[in-house]
Amino acid sequence: MVALENTTSLASLVELLHAVEQRELFLDYQAVVDVETGAVRGAEALIRWDHPERGLLPPADFLGMAMRGGLGGRITDFVHDEAVAQVAEWRLMGRDIPVSVNVSAAAFAGTDLPAAVESVLTKYDVPPGRLTVEITEHACSFENGELRETFTALARMGVRLSLDDFGMGESSLSRLQQLQFDEVKIDRSFVANVCSEPTDRSIVTFITTLAHSLGMKVVAEGVETAEVLAVLRELGPDYVQGYLLHRPSRPIGFPRS
């Protein structure tokens, strides 16, 4: 059984490597909008795999395998190149839309990440401030010297830093400030229930107040109903993101500000 599982995993990894080389992977983009005006303030890049037999696969179906199989760096480079190229294309069209990309803890702890990011920004002549690098709260909830060095290098470069899924991990409040985040994203599990759960509403209020006191912007993720959006306007996050506002899509037809 173990041998069979290993053979299957190896075959899947080879298939994924082929997908990277044949550009079967692509990025969808989901708009991040101003909670008050509805204007587009940015976009999050979301990787997908257009599998020739299994159809469209979300990242949960292959990213874990990619990281375990040593393809994390290749996919991280692909995402950065595609996302920054899209920012450059939008700028040529007269649309200044910053893009955020998710980066794994392993990639964040690697010393090559700042150099790779700087290289792709230079390649497409995109200002560093038009790229936001996201890392989950869980991934940075432990002490790691390389992680801090990477944060510092990216911040000095002018790349924006975002803490994703905030409220779900174990990071201390002091580390939230030490790692120089520009933005926090409130996890959708809290956002979805702000209308019905007083505790979740209090959590959203607390995170928003805390982040603002530290000079950070706040994004509320997973907004799917008009009722939730109305409550969020009262609670004060700066931006919102979710299916109510915009479903992930290819750049063509991306909403205008």
List CB contacts of 41: < 8 A, sequence separation 6 or more.
32, 33, 34, 98, 239, 257
35-to-8, 63, 202 alpha-carbon distances in Å? 46, 31, 18
pLDDT at 8: 43
What six digits make up the tokens of 105?
A: 């803890």
Predicted confidence (pLDDT) per residue in 183-202, tens digit? 999 999 999 999 999 999 99
Cβ-defined contacts of 112-117 (< 8 Å, 24+): 112/73, 113/76, 113/150, 113/154, 114/150, 114/153, 114/154, 114/157, 116/76, 116/77, 116/80, 117/80, 117/154, 117/157, 117/159
- Give the model's confidence band at 127: pLDDT under 50 very low, under 70 low, under 90 confident, else very high: very high
**E-strand spans in 118-203?**
131-136, 160-166, 183-186
How far is residue 28's CA from residue 142's CA, in Å, rounded to a whole number? 31
Mean confidence (pLDDT) of the chain: 87
**Using one digit for the tens of pLDDT, what is the confidence trace for 139-171?**
775 556 777 888 889 999 999 999 998 876 555
What pTM did the predictor assign? 0.89
Collapsing DSSP to helix, strand or coil, 52 comes out as coil
What is the three-class DSSP state of 137?
coil
pLDDT for 257 equals: 60
What digits encode the pLDDT tens for the residues 38-85? 999 999 999 999 988 888 888 889 888 888 888 888 899 999 999 999
pLDDT in tens, 202-236: 999 999 999 999 899 999 999 999 999 999 999 99
Distance of CA 125 to the CA centre of its chain: 22
Q: Which of the four pLDDT bands, split at 50, 70 and 90, describes residue 115?
A: very high
Report pLDDT for 237.
97
Q: Give the least confident one: 7-21, 43-57, 85-99.
A: 7-21
* CATH of the structural domain 26-48+68-240, one choice from 3.40.50.720, 3.40.50.300, 3.40.570.10, 3.20.20.450: 3.20.20.450
pLDDT at position 6 is: 47
Q: What is the pLDDT of residue 144?
A: 64
Q: What is the reported pLDDT for 13? A: 83
Q: What percent of the chain has pLDDT over 90?
A: 58
